[in-house]
Amino acid sequence: MANREYLHESDVPIHVEERKKLEKVLLTTPEDLHGKEHNPVIISVFGKSGVGKTTLVRKIFKEIGKQKQFDIQAMECFAPYLSATNILQQIVQQLTADDQDCPRNKVLEILEEKLKEKKYLLVIDGEVSGTELNNILSTLPIGHAGSRIVHITESKPEEPPSNYHHVTIELKTIDKSISKKMFLHHMEVQNLDLENHEDDIIFQITGGLPLAIALLSANVTIEARNLVSMWVAEGFLRSKVGKSMEDIGYFYLKELSARNLVSLVQMDDDSNVSNMTVTIQNKVHEFLQFEAHEASFLEVHSGDDIPTLTSARRLSLQNYTDKYAVLANPLPKLRSIFSQFEQEPKEELETMTKSIQAYVCCSPQQGTIASMQKKNIKSHIKELLHGSEFLRVINIQGIEIGNRLTRAIGKAVHLQYLGITSCSLENIPSSIGNLTSLQTLDVRETKVRKLPKAFWMIKTLRHVFGFILKLPKQTVNLKQLHTLDSIELEDFEQGLDNTLGEMIHLEGLVIWKISNGNVEALLSALRKLESLKTLNLQGNNITSSVFTTLFLRRLKFMVLDGELDFSSDHLNNGLALPNLTMLTLKETKVTQEFINKLAKLPSLVTLALCLGSYKDQELVFFSNKFRCLQKLKVDVEKLKKVEIKLSMLPKLKKLEIRTHDSHHYQEHEVTHQEHEQKTVISWKKENAIQVE
């Protein structure tokens, strides 16, 4: 593993010793455990906001993940001072497979199942009180020796219980000379006047914080596609000739990233922009929030006060004690409401009630507060929907609203974005059909599997996010729909041409449970979706016709998960995906003959052959030239040999060899000299990658 930490891939090393210490404690056994071997080692990484804590830990986390040093890994960023229950639930959601539910009342059971007797690495990025951290530790099952918990925090951490080994690593501000080097490198300065400036000047500006030079360290996160969808709903974006509102939004995001106001983080090595996460460093977020408040653009409820917000247009709920107090007052001008907190479980309601009673004693709004004790969050949301007729955006993540959304949602007739994340939500009322301006629905991480017929009759829909939603047999003509993620197909005898096939502007599509009963109907519908850029198919029978249809010529990203119905004659006339840049295969059971055919894809940059994708014992790249391929990932669980002649992959930059469930990971960065010499790169079972 590299022994230096870089910022923006510069040649300026920072936090060298701290990185060495963190790697050592993660990967080796401390000498002074003395009977604490069965509990995970607690590692606290602390320092000022912007000093580079998250950047350092995330980089090492990814490198260790590639090497499979731990059986289980999870890294989550949290808002400040969430409860242990909420933190564990979000960790479990990350550890749970895409096709499984993780209801709140099953969190501890799932955690036990996932971590027991496993060597795990958990990273908790955010401010957590000592009490809640101890609650987390007491809840975690005993794992395999060598497990680690990393806590990233600004303040000096409290000591955990005495039966845990604790290591602290403080990241300090960088010195004056390195501040100057990083500043000049980041600004790409070639000006001698600037280079000759005293180190003190730049140090005073940056305070010795890498963040002040390049804003990369981040805690506040949101998916890029959700953020752009909310911009669209608010009316901030306008389409231009040849560009949709979403295209304009992603352009603005790239501009913000180029100016280091936000950072775009890939969910994997090959994410397109829409599948990236937008991250904002805490200090920058605080500054932007302050400016938005000063300009009366946004009101933030983050303390113990209960402000009067009758004129508020946009409201962000960020407090974690009296969460619903502000909703007790009418908000007639409200356009948008955002919340990223979770309701405390029932056993914690007593604490909340005591806090409310304290308000009764000192607040002039005693009548309002007292009445709150008899209300729950569902009542507040119902009142909000009745009293805020101009609502355009609702984004409430993690609020426990019960298994059914209130029928009052139909009153918010101007609503354009509705996002709800709640593991208990199961039913959406038919009154949602009244939202004739709705553009985006997001019900991921819920139990919603079927939406009412009235929903599919909303002509303005642009993005539908859920999990294995049932596609009805009849929909309105959804020509404006851009994203459908994800749906389940039943056996459609009458075909899909009048439902899925009418979504002619669809750019992103994820489908589960493809079978013999619907594969032909699906193929027929796909032929009408000429705007598709991202396609993800999962099922028992996936037709190789997706490679030959002339109508998917705009497709750039494709994931196929399931046995591929492939015949040699079918692909003899060539492949018809001229813009496909990334292809991922899982459980497809293809042969060497099929892999050779993929050389006909003229734009293929990344090829990922995951577990079960390939059924032969040897994989070779000797006779067919992949002219654009730059990255090759191969799961070698069942392979004996991989051989690559670089003359057949003239642009290859990186080869990754990995196994699905064992501690085996190798990567090789291909050099210019190796390409010039037209060398052969090979791998054999139980051996390292060889260059000949």
User: 314-361 pLDDT, tens per residue?
Assistant: 888 765 555 566 666 778 888 988 886 544 444 444 443 344 344 334
Q: Is the pLDDT of residue 371 over 80?
A: no
| pLDDT the model gives residue 592 | 93
Averaged over 602-615, what is the pLDDT?
A: 93
What's residue 218's pLDDT?
Answer: 42
Q: Is the pLDDT of residue 659 over 70?
A: yes
Mean pLDDT of 487-494: 75
Residue 287 — very low, low, confident or very high, per pLDDT cuts 50/70/90? confident
Ramachandran region of residue 146, left (φ > 0), alpha (ψ -120 to 50) or beta? left
User: What is the pLDDT averaged over residues 212-229?
Assistant: 64
Q: What is the pLDDT of residue 581?
A: 94
> CATH topology for 16-170?
Rossmann fold (3.40.50)
Q: Whole-angstrom Cα distance, residue 385 to residue 207? A: 46
Give Cα 624 distance to the centre of its chain: 36
DSSP H or E segment with residue 150: strand 148-153
pLDDT at 529 over 80: yes
Asked whether residue 458 carries a pLDDT value surpassing 90, the answer given is yes
pLDDT at residue 429 in the model: 95
Which pair of structure tokens corresponds to residue 5?
A: 């930490």
Question: Checking phi first, is residue 198 left (phi over 0); if not, alpha (psi -120 to 50) or beta?
Answer: beta
| Nearest alpha-carbon partner for 495 in 525, 528, 527, 471 | 525
pLDDT of residue 375: 52
Residue 454 pLDDT greater than 90, yes or no: yes
Say what percent of the chain tops pLDDT 70: 77
Higher-confidence residue of 93 and 169: namely: 169
**pLDDT recorded at residue 5:** 40
Q: Assess contact for 534 and 556: CB atoms under 8 A.
A: yes
pLDDT above 70: residue 452: yes
User: Does 34 or 352 have the greater pLDDT score?
Assistant: 34
How confident is the model at residue 361, as a pLDDT?
A: 40
CB within 8 A of 112, min separation 6: which ones?
A: 141
pLDDT at 195 over 60: no
pLDDT band at 556 (very low <50, low <70, confident <90, very high): very high
Q: Which pair of tokens denotes residue 511?
A: 């489908």
pLDDT at 655: 93
Query: 26-30, 414-418, 592-596, 633-637: which range is least confident on average?
Result: 26-30
pLDDT at 62 over 90: no
Q: Kindly state the tokens that stand for 686.
A: 């139980």
Lowest mean pLDDT across 60-64, 560-564, 580-584: 60-64
Look at the domain 302-464 and name its fold: 3.80.10
Comparing CA positions, the residue from 642, 547, 546 lying closest to residue 601 is 547
3-state secondary structure of 578: coil
Q: Give me the mean pLDDT over the 368-377 stretch.
A: 48
Nearest to 680 by CA among 644, 629, 626: 644
Contact 441, 461 (CB under 8 A): yes
User: What average pLDDT does range 591-620 have in this prediction?
Assistant: 93
CA dihedral 228, 230, 235, 236 (to 10 degrees): -50
pLDDT at position 508: 94
- Residue 692's pLDDT is 82
* DSSP 8-class letter at 670: P
CATH 3.40.50 fits 220-293, yes or no: no
The pTM (predicted TM-score) of the whole model is: 0.76
pLDDT over 60 at 7, yes or no: no
State the average pLDDT for the chain: 80
Q: What is the mean pLDDT of residues 638-657?
A: 92
pLDDT for 373 equals 40
Contact 123, 117 (CB under 8 A): no
pLDDT score for 309: 65
Which of 361-365, 567-571, 592-596 holds the top average pLDDT?
Answer: 592-596
Spatial CA neighbour of 449 closest among 504, 377, 512: 512
pLDDT reported for residue 474: 87
- Decide if pLDDT at 78 tops 50: yes
Q: 239 vs 183, which has greater pLDDT?
A: 239
Name the phi and psi angles at 580, rounded to 5.
-70, 120
Give the pLDDT mean for 362-386.
57
Is the pLDDT confidence value at 273 over 60?
A: yes
Phi then psi dihedrals of residue 414, to 5 deg: -95, 0
Least confident of 177-181, 215-219, 342-346: 215-219
- 555: pLDDT strictly greater than 80: yes
Average pLDDT over residues 656-660: 80
